Chain A
Amino acid sequence: MTDLDLPAASARLAPQPTAPRRRVPRDIPRFVALVVLALLFLAPLYWMISTSFKPESDTIASPVQWIPARPTLENYREILTSPDGNILRWAWNSLFSSLAYTAAHLFVSVLAAYAFARMKFPGRDFWFWTVLSSMMVPGIVTLIPTYVMMIQFNWIDTYHALIWPGISGAFGVFLLRQFFLGIPRELEEAARLDGANSFQVLTNVILPLSVPVLVTLAVFAFMGSWNNYVWPLFVVHGDMQTLPVGITSFSSRYTTDYGKLMAGTAIAAVPVLVAYLLAQRYLQEGIAVTGLKE
């Protein structure tokens, strides 16, 4: 395992040719099955959007009102101006802390992975294995002690609590190191002959070749931070909440008014869904390559 190597990952980065196969009638049942399953998968999302445009009395109408009979924007207006919480502020908290987290995570991971992949120094392997072993520590083990640290740092209800604690996650270092190892030495040596120092090698040779893996890591870091639930639930409150946590506070207030609740979840979900439709290639490929899972 010490001679971890890139080929496996890079082979999977390449598009896989799929064998040409007959598209004979036996594919029609498969297509129909897929259509039915796809409709089942989309139904909850459709129901969310549909409910969000219904007046309260229509949300509980029977028979099922698939298309809102009396569409209204009232739910959105009310949820956006609700005295219980500022949804736009929460969205900003999520956006800002997730962007800052992603940038910082990439920064420290790139520098460390570069040292681990391209430099020789005493203690390198020991330190790398220490970092790697930390991936085995389940999140729940550090949750409460880290919370206690937040109290001691006076970081409760601040962006610091949202941004810094997860920065040194080992997976980014591991993924980048694997990729950096696969970049040919000759490229680095050519740059060295031109007088480049180690930092210039990193910025001019290594990073430009690593854009796909950097984007993959960035997408996952951003999503992980944006969707994080258990940590922000306890370290930030009120106006400092993140969007995913904030909307659950509507859940306790509008226990039966699902029109407004669905408007709230739609506001939280739709931008993410649109972003996904734009970046879906990276996400699915990223999972295939990294085997990454929450």
Chain B
Amino acid sequence: MSDQNPLVPYLYLLPHAIFFLVFTVYPIALGVWISVHRWDPLADTQPYVGSEFYRNLFLDTPQRDFFWRTLVNTLLFTVISVPLLVITALSLAQLLYRPVLFRAMFRSIFFMPGILSVSVMGILWKWLFDNQSGLVNVILQMMGRPTIPFLTTDGWAWVPVTLGTVWWTIGFNMTLYLAAMGNIPASLYEAAELDGAGGWHKFRYITLPLLQSTTLFVVVTTVLASLQLFGQTQVITGGGPARATQSVIQYITEEAFGNNQFSSATAMSFVFGAIMLIFTAIQFRTMARDAGGPR
């Protein structure tokens, strides 16, 4: 086919377009359909029920109780983990920005846990915080302290989940900060030094303001990642004790794959998706600005 043929560009797009239509556009449409019908893999008919499954989330139903409760769990995790993941990452980047012995090696070490799958990370942190024989409790014993049944105690169960997440994902944020710090002109610091500025002043009045857009990006992506909490609680606590650490995505998958309530679960995922969309929109804007303009 000659390049002059106006169909040529569409041929290049075709493979992507097929997959895009089948696995992105169609599932969204199918999801809408499923959420307003009673979809059951084993039933012959899928009766139309309208907004029933959406209304269930606001009426007196177990679905309402569990959905909002696990949403609160997820928001709690987000509120605890995001500041940790942003401030600690910024601190690590600040420690590593200037040359230091073995700098590249340190960078690699802090980044390394992030390439593990969530299940490997989860099993490992479950072992570290095991109620009896976990390393943390053994160390507590050695210090003459009582052991803490982390995995089965309300409140404490968030500790391995949160610390594990920080250990696991901090390297991504640190790397983003390091890249942004590399773009700050050294002359700014030199000028500040001439004016007698100390380390804290340089950080406060040069580094921090110039990292503003990076911080926005890091915060939004970290919030998004935290809202999608699933593997950590699935593997470390199993959502327990008594759903205290169950995340909303965990509950949605339980409703679908555990209870075979696909329509109810789809309605929930649409409601939750709408909540996340707000954050995604902010991320999208910062990314677009990032890619569009000079820095």
Contact = CB atoms under 8 A, between A and B. Distances in A.
Interface of A: 1, 3-5, 7-9, 11-12, 16-21, 23, 27, 30-31, 33-34, 37-38, 41-42, 44-45, 47-48, 51, 59-60, 62-64, 107-109, 111-112, 114-116, 119-121, 124, 127, 131, 134-149, 151, 164-168, 173-174, 178, 197-198, 223, 226-227, 229-230, 234, 243-245, 247-248, 251, 256, 258, 261-262, 264-265, 268-269, 272-273, 276-277, 280, 283-284, 287-289, 291, 293-294
Nearest to B130: A258
B117 A268 contact: yes
B253 interface: yes
Contacts of B138: 62-64
A146 B124 CA distance: 31
Interface in B170-198: 172, 175-176, 178-179, 182-183, 186, 189-190
B31 A141 contact: yes
B249 to A, nearest CB: 6
B100 A31 contact: yes
Contacts of B106: 34, 37-38
Interface string B277-295: 1001100100111111111
B118 A227 contact: yes
A249 B29 CA distance: 34
Given A4-B292, A119-B9, A287-B175, A251 B123 contact: yes
Contacts of B69: none
B273 A119 contact: no
Nearest to B98: A21
Given A12-B182, A108-B16, A167-B19, 4 more contacts: A11-B183, A63-B142, A142-B28, A198-B3
B96 interface: yes
Contacts, number: 304
Contacts of B30: 145, 148-149
B127 interface: yes
B20 A12 contact: no
Contacts of B135: 47, 64
B111 A284 contact: yes
A223 B295 contact: no
Contacts of B15: 107-108, 111-112
A1 B286 CA distance: 11
Contacts of B156: none
B112 A59 contact: no
A277 B109 CA distance: 10
B67 interface: no
A244 B120 CA distance: 7
A289 B182 CA distance: 12
Given A59-B133, A148-B262, A142 B99 contact: no
Interface string B131-157: 011010011011000000000000000
B125 interface: yes
Q: B interface, how many residues as a size bin?
A: 35 or more
* Chain A interface, DSSP helix/strand/loop, else mixed: helix
B101 interface: yes
B252 interface: yes
A127 B106 CA distance: 44
A143 B280 CA distance: 17
A231 B34 CA distance: 19
A230 B12 contact: no
Interface in B213-272: 217, 221-222, 224-225, 228, 230-231, 235, 249, 252-253, 256-257, 262, 265-266, 269-270, 272
Most chain B CB neighbours (cut-off 10 Å) among A59, A139, A293: A293
A264 B128 CA distance: 16
B24 interface: yes
B16 A139 contact: no
16 contacts: A8-B293, A18-B99, A23-B99, A30-B98, A44-B113, A111-B13, A112-B13, A144-B269, A148-B262, A149-B26, A164-B23, A245-B119, A251-B235, A273-B116, A284-B175, A287-B179
